[in-house]
Amino acid sequence: QVQLVESGGGLVQPGGALRLSCAASGSIFRIKTMGWYRQPPGKQRELVATITRAGGTVYADSVKGRFTISRDGAENTVYLQMNSLKPEDTAVYYCNTWPTTDRYWGQGTQVTVSS
């Protein structure tokens, strides 16, 4: 059974940085474009960034220049490096395929940006 497990969230001050990790089953990782998504409090889930098998990336305008998505094929892991964090980045962060696959949604990891 495919699983996606997110980790690395936490509480950070504005301007700080965090690195999120998403460990994925090998089969899905090798064939799929992967993405990071987030759901801010009281809002709908939104796409943050995607990365193809070849390493091509796309970012939401709100995170361009601050976030970097990457993937490690050997470890079947997708990362999201988040720099210059802002309070509006506060959300539960999830990884999934792109387009999303309903059964792959995990628990997510909470990121809180606050002083």
**What dihedral do alpha carbons 40, 98, 9, 21 form, nearest 10°?**
-170
Residue 40 has pLDDT above 90, yes or no: yes
Instruction: Please name which of 23, 29, 16 lies closest in space to residue 90, comparing C-alpha atoms.
Output: 16
**CA quadruple 11, 14, 16, 19: dihedral sign:** positive
Residue 62 has pLDDT above 80, yes or no: yes
Read off the pLDDT of residues 99-115 as tens digits, 9 standing for 90 and up. Answer: 999 988 999 999 999 99
CA distances (Å), 12 to each of 2, 21, 43, 48, 114, in order? 31, 16, 21, 19, 6
Residue 52 has pLDDT above 80, yes or no: yes
